[in-house]
Structure 1
């Protein structure tokens, strides 16, 4: 029997799921994805995600301020975030990080929000869910400099050396739909050879669909497609990959402790 899967990163509160959210969650469950981490992007999303996760026992919230939504953040949001992190079911600070790929996002302001949220993660003893687009080297250096952190760099797209630097700090990397594309040769090599204890599976739905669903809205059920690809790349049984990655996620986010 296939072990259950954890989608370590899915934006189920997104408007893309407004008309069929319950059906999306049911399809995920039928596909074996019975646990999903739902990260926030701004302060407005925190109560929405809290309510969604309260309604569905298989969903777990993470609260944070995403760098791509910089225009929506105000400094007081970080102070407010501290109280939200005391919520009983919250499993991480996220989605946080740096994005130097998008033009017009103030780098210094991003750094300030990122640094302050990393400090909150330390204070609340929570893992971080990190976005690092066009800024992976600086993100890695910031995590190392801050110290005392654990977490995942989601949608990893860096080099093998950058991946090793994260593993050396005990960080996981999140792998989703992009690994299923033949052109993603560097990422596929990393996934094929990496230590399994640092691998998490994710959908990042509604974004980043697998190759078979190019251009479509993504769903958490398609983590099963990511699993199949990873198993083929590693030449290992899918059941073994499922068991290992789910255990990694449950350990990182403390899910067994919260369920007890």
Structure 2
């Protein structure tokens, strides 16, 4: 399995990282896709990737600026794009985390501008996007429809209707499935992810956030990815083995990872 979105670079995971990766591999997690959230964090992320390149569970890196981190940075287009391109060249499989968030005070116009810069680079560099779309599906959808980045990407932590899920998938964007589906109150999202093609879904934890039901108040970890897979299997009434294999293949396809033989 691949955790398609987790903030494993955050301080919550500073203790015995090598041991964590050993345990994750033993649990069937082969890769962690770790998004960037702000330029000050990018070097730490790069160091983690370099330091664990041969680990049994491998970190994969993406770089970008999360909308919740964007306002204080007062970025200019040229400086931002130059810095991000240089960072991506150090070894990245995607651009992000980027997008828009309707729950923060930073203006929609400024968020849109920053997101557009990411979209433009994704089109220029042919890299997939890790997209944050919280209470902002309309403007995010408008921009994706306008730019139509050919490498696609994933709508991280998807929450929305079956119709919205279909729209994203038609644009070439996978849907990130996380702990939200473990909550019965998330009826709309559960319906959407039960009905969506399995070929459109990726697994994620969003660790240390997005706790599963029963783990509220605790730090979420990538070690709970098998629980997300089981929850999706139960929701869709499909074999767990099929959920694990197909979502892994989906993520490999999105990130263009070399094929590796699966354990029997």
TM-score scaled by length of structure 1 = 0.93
1: distance between equivalents of 2:136 and 2:200?
20
Tell me which of the two structures has the higher relative contact order, counting C-alpha pairs closer than 8 angstroms and 6 or more residues apart: 1
Q: Whole-Å Cα distance in 1 between the matches of residues 116 and 127 of structure 2?
A: 15
The Cα shift of 1:95 comes to: 0.1
Q: Please name the residue that 2:82 is paired with.
A: 79
User: Which residue of structure 2 lines up, in the alignment, with residue 242 of structure 1?
Assistant: 244
| Post-superposition CA distance 1:96-126 (Å, at most 9, x none) | 0001112x21221111110011100111110
Is contact 1:197–1:245 with CA below 8 Å preserved after alignment?
Answer: yes
Contact 2:129 2:153 in 1 (8 A): yes
Aligned-partner Cα distance in 1 for 2:258–2:20: 24
Q: Is the 8 A contact 1:67 1:99 kept in 2?
A: yes
**Aligned mates of 1:20, 1:213 — CA distance in 2:** 22
Distance in 2 of aligned mates of 1:38 and 1:72: 22
Aligned-partner Cα distance in 2 for 1:20–1:203: 19
| Alpha-carbon shift at residue 20 of structure 1 (Å) | 4.1
In structure 2, C-alpha distance between the alignment counterparts of 1:23 and 1:205, rounded to whole Å: 17
In the superposition, relative to structure 1, how do residues 138 and 241 fare at CA in structure 2: closer, same or farther (>3 Å)? same
Residue 18 (structure 1) shift: 2.3
Kept in 2: contact 1:85–1:124 (CA 8 A): no
Contact preservation (8 Å) 1:28, 1:219? no
* 1:1-150 alignment, distance < 5 Å: 5-57=1-53, 58-73=58-73, 74-75=75-76, 76-87=79-90, 89-102=91-104, 104-149=105-150, 150=152
| Partners of 1:255 and 1:56 in 2: CA distance | 17
Corresponding residue SS for 1:108: helix
Say whether the 8 Å CA contact 1:177–1:208 is kept in structure 2: yes
- Match of 1:33, SS state, is coil
Secondary structure of 2:81's counterpart equals: helix
Distance 2:108 2:16 in 1: 37
Residues of 2 paired with 1:51 and 1:255: CA distance?
21
| Structure 2 runs not aligned, ≥5 long | none
- What corresponds to 2:253 in structure 1? 251
SS of aligned partner of 1:19 = coil
- Work out the CA distance in 1 between the residues paired with 2:102 and 2:81: 21
CA contact (8 A) 2:36 2:96 kept: yes
Query: SS in structure 1 opposite 2:194?
Result: helix
Offset from partner CA, 1:163-201 (integer Å, 9 cap, x none): 111011111010101111121111111111110111000
Matched residues, number: 252
Superimposed CA distance per residue, residues 7-60 of structure 1 (whole angstroms, 9 cap, x where no aligned partner): 000101112222343343333222211111000000011111111011223111
For residue 78 of structure 1, report the CA deviation from its aligned partner: 2.9
Moved beyond 6 Å, runs of 4+ = none
RMSD of aligned Cα (Å): 1.5
Secondary structure at the aligned position of 2:218 is classed as coil
